[in-house]
Structure 1
Amino acid sequence: MISYLGRINYNYADRYLATVSVRADGSSKFAPGNRWGTFPSFSLGWRIDQEEFYKDWNQNVLSAVKLRGGWGQIGNQNIPSFAYADVVSTYDTWVYGFNSGLNLLKAYASTSKGNKDIKWETVEQGNIGVDLGFFKNSLTLSADAYIKTTRDMLMQNPLPGMAGYPTTPWVNAGSVENRGLEFLIGYQGKVGDFRYSVSANFTFQKNKLVETGTNDPIWGTVSKNEIGEEFGRFYGYVYDGIFQSKEEVLAHVGADGKTLLQPLAEPGDARFRNLNGDNTLDSNDRDYIGNPNPDVIYGGNIELGYKGIDFALYFQGVAGNDIWVGTKALLRQTSITNLLAETYTDAWRNPGDKTDVFGITRKDDNDNYRNSSWYVQNGSFCKIKTVQIGYTFPKKIVEATKVFSSLRLYVSGENLFTFTKFKYMDPEVPNGNALNMGIENLGYPNPRTFTVGVNVQF
């Protein structure tokens, strides 16, 4: 990747601030003709507290006021190398000939379908905000309102299995708009030798799919995305518990009162709701069953100090989001290896068992593991991400060594605690693919680490 950046900064009397920049990025991940993208941006600021009329006011309460706004674009090239090219690979295969017998031959096959038309994904954002300071800036508050639009989103467009490609091509498909509010509040002070600082931030955001290029829904592995609706929501059948008896299977009928909706089900199998009220349980009974987008994203810092002792804590979390627990697919009993322990320990066995682990069987005529709300769990969490305690030695002691000018010892821990109702590995699920947000697939959790260190200056 090659980048060129031009920038102009303007500052007049510390009151009027402006920055204008233009960035040009080039990437070999795109085909010739689409390798370069140009991304401009600008920001403006007005320090009202520096104006002459403001200095005449009583500033003991409102000590700082700054208005600001901006607009800009950035590019995304997060795709594999040569995603634009058709890739052909070689492999060895055994071929039997009537006259020559079994022979090892070199074969060629298309292993990846490319797309020469893919180009840079563009993220465009505009925002307005205000920064306020109170009581000589001991209390600060920042608020922002923004609109962020992602255009020409880079994603993989699934092909039918009959196409014969083991991978799916990358395309530019659709635009998503995010509207949000961000708040940051902080307070700091000092009482004698004791000093303290606390801050918290909150982000509230809603998104919607603006366009898809074809006006058809964009399908992910477990999501359906329609124009005007929130992007990334899970889509599937509504799980309605486990059949406790054969009588319950026979009672699960359609609108006519006699047609069995799940005729192949047995006690211990999953029951799914007939949402459209007809006589068949089919794909028309699917609906939106979860949302990986949180209602609020938050975080906070606490910093305390007394003489040479310092303490810092950082936490973060989300609320109001769901997670698709792909790990639950490991409960599937059509295999005899790599199953979760609860496949046996929590499995349904007798009528009245309160569990959501299906009865033990080597067949699945009922298709228990179809995409459904059975996979969806509350993904809200709060994590204590970092805690650090340190001690800075008094200057007199350090200088007495005639070696150091400062010396600080510290111990820290990361990912110490997670407060959540999520049952499996880690609710902090990475969102690498826009079409498959919020999917947990037994990924390695964030490690809990402890560090002991020293900071020395000579």
Structure 2
Amino acid sequence: MKSHLQTQNYLGKWPKIACTHLIIALTLTGSAAFAEDSPKESTKALKVMSSRKNITGTVKDAQGKPLPGVVVKIKGTNTATSTDTQGVFRLNLPVGNETLVISYLGYKTQEIAVNGQSQIQVQLLESSSDLTEVVVVGYGTQERKHLTGSIATIDVKAIEDIPVGSLTAALRGQIPGVGISGGYARPGDNAVLTVRNPTFAVKDGGRTEPLYIIDDIFRTSDDFNTLDASEVENISILKDAAAAIYGIQGSNGVVVVRTKRGKAGAPRINYGVSVGAADATMLPKVMTGIEQATYLNDITRASKNYVADGNSGYLADAAWYSPDELEYFKNNSTDWLKKAWQTAYTVRHTLNVSGGSERATYFAGASYIDQSSNFDGINTKKWTFRASSDVKLNKGLTLGFSLSGDLSKNERFWFKQGSESADNDVRSLIGTPQFTPYYVNGLPVLLTTGNTGTIDGTHFFEVQRLNNFTDTRSNGLNVQATLNYEVPFIKGLKAGLNYSKNLDNTFGKQFGTRYNVYQFSMLGDKKHIYGGDVIKTVSITNGDKVRISPSYRDSYQLNGTLNYARKFGKHEISVLGVYEQVESESDLVNASREGVLLGGLPNQQYATGTNLSDETQTEFGRLAWAARVNYSYADKYLAEFSYRGDASVYFAPGNRWGYFPSLSLGWVISEEPFFKNNVKVVDYLKFRASVGLLGIDNTKNFQYNRNFSLSTGKGAVFGGNSDRPLSINPNIALANSNAKWDDDTKYNIGIDAQFLKSRLSFTADGFLDHRYNQLTTLSSSVSLLIGAAIPTENFGIANNFGYELSLAWKDKIGKNWGYNVNTFLSWSDNKLIRLDQPVGNIGTFLDNAGLSSDRGILGYKSLGIFKTQAEVDDFLAKNPNYKAFGEVPKPGMIKYQDIRGPKDANGNFTAPDGVITENVDYEYLTPKSSNHYGLGFNFGGNYKTISLSVVMGLSWGGQSTIESAAVKRGTATSNRPDFWADHWTPENTDARYPNPYYNNNYDRTTDFWFVNSFTFRMTNFNISYGLPEQWATKAGLKSAKVFIVGTNPINFYNPYGYKDNTSAFDVYPQLRTFSLGLNIGL
């Protein structure tokens, strides 16, 4: 498997050998640093040490409260420490007359001259400005005031108490231009993050997830979601050309994470625990037993005995269910989802410790979260740990080492009947009629006499009882070593090496059995009440196999960096150079054995049937170099230029390298004398603009090679191998040696402003992403007669554009009260410039070229329901040719508008002909289908040690619709949402919904089923109380805080009466969680 990578000129063995030598060198360097010095060197060292001065200080706020984590740095050097939980710091100064720079986020930075003092007291004043905030960017950090790109940051403290198993879910509602979906329903499911809603003119929609960088190492979205907020220092999201430093992978934005490291000082221990209860925001509502039986009776009557000659009404004896059965169903109806549903509980523990000296610092942390399911018998668990240390080996030479890992277990029930979907548990329960019992006299009931291999025949409680499960256990281990050196003979120059090794293993197991269900003779006049004698035993196959799926992924990354940063008067410059190399390989095995003998023995040795297996191996490599130059003049004129070269083994040798430049400029007009001296209300105003070329290798591996397949049982027979002849089949897919990465030119203009002593802040961004050379399969343009799969080609072009606005206010009332409000508005859309589409669509209203990918909902325009036969007759008198989808109109049908006639000989649609024809009389019914506007509204406040924060979100601009699964006609074994109880009958002509029998008429995409798409809900709230310092001290603690957190607590607007408006009715419901927690510091 490795042979392919090792044959590449630039991805050979030497980097692995180099890494080995690097580790050896680090070890030897470390040993040498701690080895015993010679007498001469020791004497010299003692003289230097005796000349150094120790200083101790305390940092407090305006109210005299200690501030922990304040950075105290010797000006002009990289020597720094931080305050402990009591606000105390200690430093060893070379001379004793240095100047200390004391900084803390949210407070004004101070410079204190030591002047020989051994103890100092510092009081920091709060600042509403965040311009000195250090922001993590690609391969480094920058002060916010120097940023020229669109970079959003997360306040990690705002999310650290949220008890979710996916870190992405905790970010919902925190950042403009960042979409978060999922993460608040089934335990164990990760949320999905997108940046500025990327658009692709390709068949499969393209890969939309951003790039994830954790401690300067490429990681996956799973790695990011595995992180616990307690181990994260800060998170930045690069949304524009700022991501160009990552070249071929930065097109969809970049999420950059820095994990916590140790800080000098006494050991600081923090422990947190929370316990929460999770329940559905709204369980789907389906018809009760009597409602469904009446619904089915009306379907039966309409199908057989409706008299259309003017006599309204049905013949009573055509009913499927008899009166005695209907009476029984009134009092014997069970909501099976509610019956199986239970409150789930979440328990979360976090523990970390950090500290150290000026020479060595350390951090260690661990977390554990246990999320039970709302169905008894399954749960999700996750453990994480992280340990790191930074040691100054010598003057200017620092060695860093970290070890992190995770373990997770995710259990679900396995329903193999029908499609193998995770949501089959919910679908089987809401689909089973409420008049159907799961058990009669303790025996499981046969739910359908038709195909038992469908979801209608799935017996949830037997699958649960027999513990038919799918279980995924994962573990990951990451080892990272860094070596940083301040070059002594060139002031401001630093060199660094960063090596990371990552191992991921996953073991999946699925266990399904057979189980018996029983058919009964039935009771009631028409034999529809379950009971009587057992007349048949039916064996149900729920997979009847044990399947295992072990996999592993092994990867490493090597980075080398040079960084030069100096300030010359008003000129400030920094230069970065990066060398980077990544290689990975993975292997996945699927092995199954049928014929499970006994339930409760999920092992292949207890199965007797056929063994099946397959294996998939992949390998990958990328080589890159990058450079970046930043320049600032008087913090007024700003510029940044970056350039990156990437090589990917995905592409043929001639197309492997891609080059990605970017340029951004900034002008802080508020620093201009003409502005500063005349505009007093504006404290800060910066204009910025950026442009950059990025890419994405959005394709399968090695498509430039010709593909073959192997198969047995075919071809010529030689020798004694008559039972398994082997054949080689060429041209499974055509090769394309010209394929290369997708290109994306990003443009962004922005404004950052602060007013009224920085209490009011405003940010605006407008962006355009011009994506071209997008890899897509031109299946609509190539004949199927070629006899092979069509390769991807660089063809698609799409523009993505939008804007983001944010407005925030932060202020204090007196000494004890504070409050803040933050709102942000975002909008985005796109235009498909060139795409592959059916030839018949070109030039018609179906042609999408030059238009948005979201043109609204394509369907049929409705004109209401025919209420009576008289209304039908009157309509036909005026429209004698009217038919809808081949049927003459009847009372209870939906009436449709005739849009056009069929195509003529020239391929053009003709004038309306009075007939509603499928795929002819449809049109785009709304301007948009998805919500393109999003508004975040977050606010908080505090009184002394009591604080409150609330995150809310709104969206609008699209069109929702009742989903197809809810519209389809129900059966005696498949229930439907409760709105169908109000359906048309001769006795109920003003019903909201049509006659359920005429499904060919109503089971269409039509505006009849439209629902408002507006959403408004509270994402989370956090109420906390910090124990006063004197009380905590008496309890032997340095700090203590109790908090209550609610996630997804309130849905302010839901136009659906039968489900939550953020998900389909037949999937796992959205969850609402309330948690009580405690954080203590020791």
TM-aligned CA distance change 1:230 to 1:303, over 3 Å: same
TM-aligned CA distance change 1:243 to 1:121, over 3 Å: farther
The aligned residue for residue 413 of structure 1 is: 1046
Higher Cα Rg, which structure = 2
The aligned residue for residue 319 of structure 1 is: 956
The aligned residue for residue 394 of structure 1 is: 1028
Q: Is the 8 A contact 2:630 2:640 kept in 1?
A: yes
Q: Is the 8 A contact 1:244 1:268 kept in 2?
A: yes
The aligned residue for residue 188 of structure 1 is: 810
TM-aligned CA distance change 1:218 to 1:278, over 3 Å: closer
Residue deviations 1:156-212 (CA, integer Å, cap 9, x gap): 77779x9799x9987766433344332211111101110011011112344333232
Q: Is the 8 A contact 1:29 1:79 kept in 2?
A: yes
Q: Does 1:280 align with 2:881?
A: no
Quote the Cα distance in structure 1 between the aligned partners of 2:804 and 2:1018.
Answer: 21
The aligned residue for residue 455 of structure 1 is: 1079
Residues 331-340 or 127-136, more deviating: 331-340
Per the TM alignment, residue 339 of structure 1 is displaced from its structure 2 partner at its CA by: 3.4
TM-aligned CA distance change 1:420 to 1:189, over 3 Å: same
Per the TM alignment, residue 340 of structure 1 is displaced from its structure 2 partner at its CA by: 1.5
The aligned residue for residue 628 of structure 2 is: 7
The aligned residue for residue 349 of structure 1 is: 985
Residue deviations 1:118-162 (CA, integer Å, cap 9, x gap): 6544443312121221111111122222223333556777779x9
Quote the Cα distance in structure 2 between the aligned partners of 1:89 and 1:270.
Answer: 54
Residue deviations 1:307-353 (CA, integer Å, cap 9, x gap): 0011001111211211244x343332275444323375233223653
Q: Does 1:304 align with 2:941?
A: yes
- The Cα RMSD (Å) is 4.4
Per the TM alignment, residue 406 of structure 1 is displaced from its structure 2 partner at its CA by: 2.5
TM-aligned CA distance change 1:317 to 1:31, over 3 Å: farther
The aligned residue for residue 210 of structure 1 is: 833
Q: Is the 8 A contact 2:780 2:836 kept in 1?
A: no
Q: Secondary structure of 2:757's match?
A: coil
The aligned residue for residue 664 of structure 2 is: 43
The aligned residue for residue 260 of structure 1 is: 882
Quote the Cα distance in structure 2 between the aligned partners of 1:34 and 1:335.
Answer: 57
Quote the Cα distance in structure 2 between the aligned partners of 1:143 and 1:66.
Answer: 11
Q: Is the 8 A contact 1:331 1:342 kept in 2?
A: no
Residue deviations 1:33-64 (CA, integer Å, cap 9, x gap): 767655433322112222344443352x1111
Per the TM alignment, residue 216 of structure 1 is displaced from its structure 2 partner at its CA by: 5.8
Q: Does 1:329 align with 2:965?
A: yes
Residues 185-194 or 260-269, more deviating: 260-269
Q: Secondary structure of 1:448's match?
A: strand
Q: Is the 8 A contact 1:331 1:339 kept in 2?
A: no
Q: Which runs of 5+ in 1 are unaligned?
A: 93-102, 430-439
Report the number of matched residues.
428
Q: Is the 8 A contact 1:114 1:170 kept in 2?
A: no
TM-score, length basis structure 1: 0.76
Q: Is the 8 A contact 2:776 2:796 kept in 1?
A: no
Residue deviations 1:67-115 (CA, integer Å, cap 9, x gap): 11112344455678899998979899xxxxxxxxxx9x999999x9788
The aligned residue for residue 975 of structure 2 is: 339
Q: Is the 8 A contact 2:666 2:689 kept in 1?
A: yes
Match of 2:748 among 115, 123, 127: 127
Residues 82-91 or 256-265, more deviating: 82-91
The aligned residue for residue 436 of structure 1 is: none
Q: Does 1:65 align with 2:698?
A: no
TM-aligned CA distance change 1:392 to 1:324, over 3 Å: same
TM-aligned CA distance change 1:107 to 1:235, over 3 Å: farther
TM-aligned CA distance change 1:395 to 1:244, over 3 Å: same
Q: Secondary structure of 1:226's match?
A: coil
Quote the Cα distance in structure 1 between the aligned partners of 2:727 and 2:968.
Answer: 36
**Residue type matched to 2:955 in 1?**
V
Q: Secondary structure of 1:349's match?
A: coil
**Residue type matched to 2:887 in 1?**
L
The aligned residue for residue 822 of structure 2 is: 199
Quote the Cα distance in structure 2 between the aligned partners of 1:182 and 1:52.
Answer: 30
TM-score, length basis structure 2: 0.35
Match of 2:797 among 175, 183, 190: 175
Q: Is the 8 A contact 1:253 1:261 kept in 2?
A: no
**Residue type matched to 2:978 in 1?**
E
The aligned residue for residue 230 of structure 1 is: 852
Quote the Cα distance in structure 1 between the aligned partners of 2:1075 and 2:693.
Answer: 39
Quote the Cα distance in structure 2 between the aligned partners of 1:242 and 1:109.
Answer: 57
The aligned residue for residue 1008 of structure 2 is: 374
TM-aligned CA distance change 1:392 to 1:136, over 3 Å: same
Q: Is the 8 A contact 1:331 1:343 kept in 2?
A: no
Quote the Cα distance in structure 1 between the aligned partners of 2:683 and 2:791.
Answer: 56
5 Å-filtered alignment, 1:77-226, equals: 116=736, 120-152=741-773, 174-192=796-814, 193-212=816-835, 226=848
Q: Which runs of 5+ in 2 are unaligned?
A: 1-619, 714-722, 901-911
Match of 1:360 among 996, 1014, 1020: 996
TM-aligned CA distance change 1:343 to 1:204, over 3 Å: closer
Quote the Cα distance in structure 2 between the aligned partners of 1:87 and 1:333.
Answer: 46
**Residue type matched to 2:896 in 1?**
F
Quote the Cα distance in structure 1 between the aligned partners of 2:1031 and 2:735.
Answer: 67
Q: Secondary structure of 2:1002's match?
A: coil
The aligned residue for residue 865 of structure 2 is: 242
Per the TM alignment, residue 274 of structure 1 is displaced from its structure 2 partner at its CA by: 0.3
Quote the Cα distance in structure 2 between the aligned partners of 1:335 and 1:86.
Answer: 47
